[in-house]
Amino acid sequence: VKRVFAPKDMVGRKVLISAGPTREYLDPVRFISNPSSGKMGFAVAEEALSRGAEVVIVSGPVSISAPVGATVVPVESAMQMRDAMEAHFEWSDVVVMTAAVADYRAAEQKNEKQAKVSEHFTIELVPNPDILSGLGSKKGNRVLVGFAMETHAGVERAAGKARRKNADFICLNYPTREGTAFGGDDNQVTFVFPDGTFQDLPRMSKREVAEHLLDEALKRMQWAIQ
């Protein structure tokens, strides 16, 4: 049964969402990135707003427009995303990391465009900070939700991430299913908990995934507050 009216069960709740890809510049005109569309994060934002929450979206570069009523903090790099998420973390009750954060950035970002000089070109990369882990280490009563895209051993890997990053659960999805994940309007996810238990959801719109995600987050929040 499709829901007709959103329950106003998030009035006064503050939801911080990261969305989209990050860009790791090599020089002023080139960067390393990924195909994340931002749709999943924006769907969580829309759902939270319709349920009465206040919403801040820290968004990497995306081509879709943000839902009316959300505050958008635009960023490019993982380092900028980390700083913006840290800056709004204190304010938040629920944090949802849908962003596809680049794991690495160039060791050195050149100030000038690099000319083509030789047959072989090597870029030295260094790891980016893990934003979710950083927030997880000072979680308090907040509910923290991560995303993970896996090609194999999904539940096991996602549960490990939930534990390591101190997330309440990880929303696991797969890059291979038609119409889902990168760029699609639908998603098929499994909620994976730190203890390795999981809940499979059928394929549905990203907005409906958002509805289930916030239901699950809210359950944990009420439990945390009492």
Residues belonging to the binding site for CTP are 103, 110, 129-132, 147, 161, 165
Residue 14's binding partner among Ca ion, ligand CTP, none (Cβ under 5 to 8 angstroms by kind) is: none
For β-strands 204-205 and 186-187, DSSP reports them as antiparallel
| Contact (Cβ atoms closer than 8 angstroms) between residue 96 and residue 213 | yes
Per the document, the length of the chain is 226
Residue 34 falls in the annotated catalytic set = yes
55 binds, among Ca ion, ligand CTP, none (CB under 5 to 8 A by kind): none
CA distances, 145 to each of 3, 37, 45, 60 (Å): 23, 19, 13, 18
Residue 9, number of CB atoms within 10 A of its CB: 13
Binding to ligand CTP in span 177-216, by CB under 6 A: none
Phi, psi values for residue 46, rounded to 5°: -60, -45
Which residue is catalytic, options 34, 128, 141, 166? 34
Q: Is 31 in the site for ligand CTP (CB under 6 A)?
A: no
**Does the protein bind ligand CTP through residue 132 (CB under 6 A)?**
yes
Does residue 97 interact with ligand CTP by CB under 6 A?
yes
Nearer residue to ligand CTP within complex by CB, 52 or 134? 134
**97 contact choice in Ca ion, ligand CTP, none (CB below 5 to 8 Å, kind-dependent):** ligand CTP
Residue type, 79: M
Q: Is the dihedral of CA 72, 183, 10, 192 positive or negative?
A: negative
Binding of ligand CTP by 142 (CB under 6 A): no
Burial class (CB in 10 A: 0-12, 13-18, 19+), 191: buried
CB of 146 to Ca ion, least distance (A): 10
Contact pick of 83, 103, 130, 186 for Ca ion (by CB under 5 A): 103
Nearest residue (CB) to Ca ion, 27 versus 103: 103
Helix (H) or strand (E) run with residue 126 in it:
strand 125-127
* Binding-site ranges for ligand CTP (CB under 6 A): 78, 97, 99, 101, 103, 128, 130-132, 146-148, 161
Active-site positions read 34
